[in-house]
Each structure stands twice: as C-alpha cells, then as structure tokens.
Amino acid sequence: MKDNEKNQAIAWKKIIPFCDSCAFLWLNCLGVFALRLVLMAMLVFCATAQAQEELTAGQWVRKGNEYLAARNFDSAIDAYGKAISLDPQNATAYNNRGFVYTHHKGKFDLAIADFNKAIQLSPQFAEAYNNRGFALYNTGRHDPAIADFDRAIQLNPRYTQAHNNRGFAYHNKGRLDLAIADYTKSIQFNPQNAIAYINRGSIYHDTGQYELALRDFNKALELEPQNIGALEGRRKTLERLSQKAAEEARTTKGGQPKGAGQALQQ
C-alpha cells in the first residue's frame, strides 16, 4: 500500500468512531428538540384554555355566533351555554341558543324554554317573540304562534321575518287576505326576501291568479336562481297558464264563447 493510501486508511479509522459519537449526540439533540416541541404545544394549549376560561359572557356569545356562521352547531350551543353560566341574565345568549335548537337541531321544547327565559329577562325582545312563534308553530300551536308574531310586529313594525311568518300561519289557517297582506308587508320592508315572494306567489297560484303568481316566482328566482320552491312554483304556474290558454282557445272557437245560445227551458 502506498504511503498516501495508508495514511488515508488510518485517517478513516480515526473518523469513524468520531462519527459514531456525533450520531449519538445528534439523536440526543433530536430527543431534546422533540421534547421542547411537546412542551411548547402543551403550553400553547394551556394558554388557549386559560384564555377561553377568561372570556366574558359577551365574548362567549360572539364566539357562539362565529360557530353558528361556520355551521358548527354543537360548539355554538356550548358557547352560548358558557355565556349563560357566566351571566344568567344574558337574554341574547338564551335567544341565540334557542335559535340553534329550533333551526338546526329540531329540539323545539328546549328552544321554547330558552325563548321563554329570554322574554322573561327582556320583555321588549322582538326577535325572541318571533323565534318562539316559529318554534310554537312547528309544534302545532298555531294560535299562540300568531300571538307571538303579533307581539314581535308590535315591538318592531318593520320586522320582515315576523310579517312573513305570521303570513305563513294565516295562509295555513285559510285566512288568505291576511296572509297576502303580511307577505306584501314583508316584501315592502325587505325587497330581497325571496321566501315572501314564493309564499305570496303560492296563494296567487292556488286562487287562480296565475299572472300574479308568475310575477312573484320570477322575482324570487331573480333573487335566488336555484331556489327549488320558486322553480317548482313557476313550473306549475306556467302549466296552468298553458292549460288556461288552451281552454280559452277552445271556448272561443267558431267566434262565440262556450254555452252561447243556451237558455233555460220552461
């Protein structure tokens, strides 16, 4: 072996044990680093938990609203519950939790209990009356529901949802003139309310006022082009208009309306 190669061989023999030591130290460093990461994560978690525990009732309500907007309904209910625990006089927390129970959980009895509490704490709370009316209607208690919608509208005459909801209740009781009046008010106060157009259009359809019905369904579709109710309402209305045109064409065939020339026999 040449002297240079011999020297290189000797050098590598010296380096190898040194590298073993480095590897051992490196692994130890990695272990310490990983432990630090775990500790840091625990500290962040604890700090977050502590920060949440320090939230006020109002902040918990806002957090519940954020969860609701994100459709995280269980977390929203939990957040409103925390607000109530911190401030049992917080009518908004009761109302908002009741809203989630009504619209996203179908737990109407729990919702009504929350709305009752909200109204007890804040007797001028129009939204709580409207929301309780909605829950009552969905449990078959239509007259008490109408009474709640009445109260909501007394407190806020421009309350578009309450007008629509009362109109719906009147509609299903057969009081169509009152229903149309409420749907029209709802549209007046919020011209972007597609549901009110659909509801009013359905009355016009059912009472044979097809041109008015078509106008309302078309307006609803301008606002919400994919709304199933509006699409179906327009389809049925166009069918009826087509049938009506065909019937009128048959009755006027020959230049006189159907039944012309007939008379009672003595």
| 87 DSSP assignment | -
Interval 190-226: pLDDT, tens: 999 999 999 999 999 999 999 999 999 999 999 999 9
| pLDDT tens readout for residues 89-144 | 999 999 999 999 999 999 999 999 999 999 999 999 999 999 999 999 999 999 99
pTM above 0.85, yes or no: no
Which of 177, 176, 200 is closest to 188 using CA atoms? 200
Is residue 266 exposed (0-12), middle (13-18) or buried (19+ Cβ within 10 Å)?
exposed
Q: How far apart are CA 47 and CA 117, in angstroms?
A: 34
Tokens of 1: 């072996």
Give the pair of three-digit tokens for residue 225.
Answer: 């082009």
The domains of the chain, with CATH numbers, are: 167-249 (1.25.40.10)
Residue type, 68: L
The model's confidence at residue 259, banded by pLDDT at 50, 70 and 90, is: very low
